[in-house]
Amino acid sequence: MTAEVEQTAAESAPVLDQVVDEVVQVVQNKRAAPMDAAEVRELVEQEWARYDDAPVRTYLPVLVRRAVVGDLLGRD
């Protein structure tokens, strides 16, 4: 990994943590069942990676959260 990629990953870790927490909360509220945070984390990281080349990252947490929540709630 380059230093730039490592720095970006380090900076995004707290944001990813927040997105995971929000996804878990939303899905648990909708399903009334516990969610596996590790599973959610994996899905969030996969969705986040889709935007690695995005020049504008301001709305990335919102896009990722909505996509993962939609995927999880669409599974039923």
pTM: 0.81
pLDDT given at position 4: 43
Query: In b/e form, how buried is each residue of 32-68, taking b as 16+ CB within 10 angstroms?
Result: eeebeeeebbebbbebbeeeeeeeeeeebbebbbebb
Residue 8 has what pLDDT? 55
Per the structure, the count of domains in the chain is 1
Domain that holds residue 23: 3-73
Count the alpha carbons within 13 Å of 11 in the hemisphere toward its beta carbon. Answer: 7
pLDDT digit of tens for each residue in the chain (76 aa)? 444 444 455 567 899 999 999 999 999 999 988 999 999 999 999 999 999 999 988 999 999 999 999 999 996 5
Domain holding 45: CATH number? 1.10.8
Q: Name residue, tokens 């709630």.
A: 73
What is residue 2's predicted lDDT score, i.e. its pLDDT?
42
Whole-number pLDDT of residue 7: 41
